[in-house]
């Protein structure tokens, strides 16, 4: 998590703890306390929804950046492979590779 995510988490945690302490030390009627709890819950749900949306967007960007980086690396690898292969290709064409096949090997291959 980056600093922004950590800060949001700390804020949400602080809000919950603060609400709990406020309920314990602020004498209110049952009706007032229920209304207060309802507001706190609604605020928490709203903040959690925003956090979820931000987290989803952060994840989407992370995946997109990863795809882009992987594609770039693959292309660089293909380019380097092509350059090396092109340098070696004339050498391979000039070399004569002796092929010796024994009669026993031919018979074995034919049996299979």
**pLDDT tens for each residue of 41-84:** 898 888 888 888 888 999 999 999 999 999 999 999 888 888 77
DSSP 71-102: HHHHHHHHHHHHHHHHHHHHHHHHS-------
pTM, full prediction: 0.42
Per-residue pLDDT at 40 exceeds 80: yes
Say if residues 23 and 37 touch (Cβ distance below 8 Å): yes
The residue range of the domain holding 58 is: 3-111
Confidence tier at 32 by pLDDT (50, 70, 90):
confident
Say if residues 48 and 12 touch (Cβ distance below 8 Å): yes
Q: Which residue has the higher pLDDT, 111 or 101?
A: 111
Q: How many domains does the chain have?
A: 1
């Amino acid at each position: 998590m980056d600093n922004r995510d950590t800060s949001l988490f700390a804020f949400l945690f602080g809000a919950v703890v603060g609400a709990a302490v406020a309920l314990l030390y602020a004498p209110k009627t049952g009706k007032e306390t229920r209304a207060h709890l309802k507001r706190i819950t609604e605020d928490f749900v709203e903040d959690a929804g925003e956090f979820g949306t931000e987290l989803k967007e952060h994840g989407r960007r992370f995946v997109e950046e990863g795809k882009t980086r992987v594609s770039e690396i693959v292309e660089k690898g293909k380019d380097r492979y092509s350059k090396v292969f092109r340098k070696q290709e004339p050498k391979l064409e000039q070399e004569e590779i002796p092929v010796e096949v024994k009669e026993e090997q031919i018979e074995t291959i034919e049996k299979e």
